[in-house]
Amino acid sequence: MTERIHNDYFKWWCGTVIVGAIPIFIRLIAYTLTNKNIELFNITELVCFGFSIQISSIYFGMGKPSKLTENRLILNTTLSVVFVMLFSIIYIMSIMSSETLEASTTKIFLAITCSISLYVGQNSVKCAIINNSILAEE
């Protein structure tokens, strides 16, 4: 059972986190290798990365919870929805009034929020994988 949990968790990291971060990696490479005036981080790319983490967390959290993991799955899914709303608000604000947002402060806030989102997301997915393993044994 433990090996299956680690395999599913590794698949989530590769399939969601790394793939979701590809636009960020490409921008970092372009920033490093070119002498063009490319910004190091882009608000939209950070928002999309946060979305990918939280949407996958919600997806993994769907299903029938076991008695051991029910409260954690509900809390994790609620936190994921809160993060999706937060990312949505920042995204809309950056589109509608980009000149009123302080770009560097917003990027720092988004980087911190994405880090917290990744932490919450990985805990949520790990809980869901454990939950599915428990249910499969029953």
Average pLDDT over residues 54-66: 76
pLDDT at 98: 66
Q: What distance in Å separates the CA atoms of residue 138 and residue 88, rounded to the nearest whole number?
A: 39
Residue 138 has pLDDT above 70, yes or no: no
> Whole-prediction pTM value?
0.76
pLDDT at 58: 80
The count of structural domains within the chain is: 1
Q: What b-and-e string marks burial along 102-111, b requiring 16 or more CB atoms within 10 Å of the CB?
A: eeeebbebbe
Categorize the per-residue pLDDT at 26 as very low, low, confident or very high, splitting at 50, 70 and 90.
very high
Q: Which residues contact 21 (CB under 8 A, 6 or more apart)?
A: 49
Residue 73: domain span: 2-137
